[in-house]
Amino acid sequence: MTTKSNSISDPRYSCAVGATNSVVAIRGAVPIANCSPGCQLKQTAFLTFENGFQGSVYAGAGNMPSANSTENDIVFGGIKTLDELVKSTLKIFKGDLYVVLTGCVGGLIGDDVPSLVRKYHEKGYPIVAVDTAGFKGNNLYGHEEVVDAIIDQFVGDYHGKKQKGLVNLWFETPYFNQNWRGDYQEIARILRGAGFNVNIPFGPENNGVKDWRRIPKAQFNLVLSPWVGVRNAEHLQEKYGQPFLHISEIPIGGEATSEFIRNVVKFAGIDKLQSEKFIREENRIYYYYLEHFSEFFAEYWYGMPSEFAIAADSAYTLAYTKFLADQIGLIPRKAIITDDPPQKFRAELERLFHDLTEGVDVQVEFEEDGYLIEKAIDGVKFSSGKPLILASSWELTIANKKKALFFEITPPSSESLIINRSFAGYKGALNLLEKIYSASVGGK
């Protein structure tokens, strides 16, 4: 049965309780996993290991406190186990923020986790509870839940003034979007260069809970993502009266990034002088490199791909397809979004794929089942030369079958190690070209 069913082969996301990793992305924060043994190792394996072997930090991965529920907890309730866990975590871990994430078991056996956590919260501990039962949604859903929970239960109300030029950056999902660390740095660099004061909730340039407390003061929220985070921005709008700018497409390359900057500057109404100067300087360097690259691109003798297929989450599928089709001139033959975006975002995504570049159009598909994704790619008759396939490790075998150039852009990813790599903005575009065309060249 190659038709759609509930079945999912070769999964491309994990479940809500994997949002422990969003907590790890906040400097000094400690996740407390209230779930079964195995839950966190599975989520972490997917998000931080089988995803460019990113690794984890601080209270993530092996250090993560976890209830590891037993049959006893199922039968008699797990609150006592959780209470012990919270207590010992507060005793043994240094945390500026503790987030209790409850998985399937807690939800199904009816433990009252919020009450327990409230007890500690009321004593003054910076602790927050979130329901992230795996059957409620995937890790992207869990990520959004965690953000709202921290805002509501930790950051709390704010009635002070807003600070002009201060922007909260809601961007890639930590650990899930495999280049998130480098991408946050590149987009932050760009926004700063354009004159903004950038508040970054996650990653290398996050300063911990201090930055979360700054969130309500920002002039506005920037959601740079097709859908993840829009819910949070709506919540912030309501809670703090903060407007938000939603940009679906991560800018890649000189043209898109300059346009991105101009859009954000326009929305914020800040002075253009600095941003235009920044654009000029960045373009000077970018096109210096692109002029060099264009020689290879025009003159390489031994073939390079002219068509590609892509299957990844909404954010990367859109951004890479756009850049490759519009700026580089690769022909998109198949684009599949695999992160199950909520229905209300799908029409806009479809539109964006219809408007990639002059005369190029691809009907984006939404599919999470790896079996059907493989079939869809297998069905493309690539016309000449080696095509390029950008997807996950699951597609290694179909890429071999198609004699394609292949690399991974989405979890699971086992063929590359990722540290500070970015394919976003000015610099990332050049990295992406290096990556694609390094795969094309040589006599290997």
Partner 1 sequence: MAKTIINLDMTEVENREFRLGTIIGWDGKASDLIQQSAYDERSVKKHGGCAGKGLGCRLCELQSPLNQETMCSNAIVQCQIGNLTDCVLIDHAPIGCSGENSKFNLSMHNGLKRRGKPLQNTLNISTNLKEKDMVFGASDKLRRTIRDAKDRYNPKAIFIGMACATAIIGEDIDSVAEEMEPEVGVPVVPLHCEGFRSKHWSTGFDVAFHGVLRQIVNRHPEKKQKDLLNIVALWGTDYFSEMLKPLGLRVNYLLDCASFDEIRQASEAIATATFCDTLGGYMATALEESFGVPQIDAPQPYGIRGTDEWLRAIAKVAGKENEAEEYIESEHRRIAPKLAELRNFFKGKNGIVMTGSAYAHGLISVLSELGIGHDAALLFHHDPIYDGGGKHQDTLKELIDTYGDIPHYTVSKTRAFQLPQLLKRAKTNFLIIRHPGLASVAGHLGFPTLTMGDEHIPVGYEGILRVGEMLKGVIARTKFNRILKRHVKLPYSDWWLSQSDPFYLTNHPEVLDDLPRAAGKEKQELIQASA
Structure tokens at 209: 């809970």
Region from 184-192, 261-269, 324-332, 342-350 binding partner 1, contact rule CB under 8 A = 324-332
Residue number with CB closer to partner 1 (94 or 344) = 94
The residues, any chain, with a CB within 8 Å of residue 275's CB and separated by 6 or more, are 193, 194, 195, 261, 262, 265
Q: Is 10 in the site for partner 1 (CB under 8 A)?
A: yes
Q: Is 115 in the site for partner 1 (CB under 8 A)?
A: no
Map residue 2 onto helix, strand or coil: coil
| Residues from 153 through 172 that contact partner 1 (CB under 8 A) | 160
Q: What is the Cα–Cα distance from 382 to 395, expressed in whole angstroms?
A: 16
Q: What is the Cα–Cα distance from 331 to 321, expressed in whole angstroms?
A: 9
| Pairs from 111-117 (Cβ < 8 Å, separation ≥ 24) | 111/34, 111/77, 111/78, 111/79, 111/82, 112/79, 113/34, 113/79, 113/82, 116/79, 116/82, 116/83, 116/86, 117/86
Q: How far is the CB of 395 from partner 1 (least distance, A)?
A: 9
Q: What is the DSSP letter of 155?
A: I
Map residue 106 onto helix, strand or coil: helix
* CA atoms 231, 236, 238, 243: torsion sign: negative
Q: How far is the CB of 427 from its own copies (least distance, A)?
A: 7
Q: How far is the CB of 435 from its own copies (least distance, A)?
A: 9
Give, in order, the Cα–Cα distances in Å from 234 to each of 158, 174, 182, 268.
16, 20, 26, 17
Residue number with CB closer to partner 1 (86 or 188) = 86
Structure tokens at 384: 């000449």
Name which position in 204, 208, 243, 385 contacts its own copies (CB under 8 A).
204
* CA atoms 41, 47, 48, 53: torsion sign: positive
Q: Is 371 in the site for partner 1 (CB under 8 A)?
A: yes
Q: Is 431 in the site for its own copies (CB under 8 A)?
A: yes
Name which position in 205, 276, 350, 365 contacts its own copies (CB under 8 A).
205
Map residue 228 onto helix, strand or coil: coil
Q: Is 66 in the site for partner 1 (CB under 8 A)?
A: yes
The residues, any chain, with a CB within 8 Å of residue 177's CB and separated by 6 or more, are 183, 313, 315, 316
Name which position in 237, 357, 416, 440 contacts partner 1 (CB under 8 A).
357
| Residues from 390 through 419 that contact its own copies (CB under 8 A) | 393, 396, 414-419
Q: Is 113 in the site for its own copies (CB under 8 A)?
A: no
Among partner 1, its own copies, none, the one that 22 touches (CB under a kind-dependent 5 to 8 A) is: none
* Cis peptide preceding 412, ω within 30 of 0: yes
Among partner 1, its own copies, none, the one that 363 touches (CB under a kind-dependent 5 to 8 A) is: none
Structure tokens at 330: 């690769």
Q: Is 55 in the site for its own copies (CB under 8 A)?
A: yes
Structure tokens at 126: 């910076």
Among partner 1, its own copies, none, the one that 285 touches (CB under a kind-dependent 5 to 8 A) is: its own copies
Q: Is 291 in the site for partner 1 (CB under 8 A)?
A: yes
Q: Is 57 in the site for its own copies (CB under 8 A)?
A: yes
Q: What is the Cα–Cα distance from 166 to 163, expressed in whole angstroms?
A: 6
Q: Is 208 in the site for its own copies (CB under 8 A)?
A: no
Residue number with CB closer to its own copies (302 or 381) = 302
- Which H or E run includes 246? strand 244-247
Q: Is 58 in the site for partner 1 (CB under 8 A)?
A: yes
Q: Is 373 in the site for partner 1 (CB under 8 A)?
A: no
Q: Is 277 in the site for its own copies (CB under 8 A)?
A: no
Q: Is 204 in the site for partner 1 (CB under 8 A)?
A: no
Q: What is the DSSP letter of 184?
A: H
Size of the site for its own copies (CB under 8 A): 46
- Report the candidate in 230, 224, 286 with the shortest Cα–Cα distance to residue 258: 286
Region from 197-205, 221-229, 257-265, 396-404 binding partner 1, contact rule CB under 8 A = 396-404
Among partner 1, its own copies, none, the one that 289 touches (CB under a kind-dependent 5 to 8 A) is: its own copies
Residue 144 CA neighbour count, 13 Å, CB half: 19
The amino acid that residue 222 corresponds to is L
Name which position in 201, 203, 412, 425 contacts partner 1 (CB under 8 A).
412
Residue number with CB closer to partner 1 (115 or 207) = 207
Among partner 1, its own copies, none, the one that 205 touches (CB under a kind-dependent 5 to 8 A) is: its own copies
- Expressed in angstroms, the distance from the first to the final Cα of the chain is 39
Q: Is 327 in the site for partner 1 (CB under 8 A)?
A: yes
Structure tokens at 219: 């002039």
Name which position in 51, 54, 173, 177 contacts its own copies (CB under 8 A).
54
The residues, any chain, with a CB within 8 Å of residue 421's CB and separated by 6 or more, are 52, 179, 182, 431
Which positions lie near its own copies, rule CB under 8 A? Answer: 48-49, 53-58, 61, 181, 185, 204-205, 285, 288-289, 291-296, 299-300, 393, 396, 414-421, 427, 430-431, 433-434, 437-438, 440-444
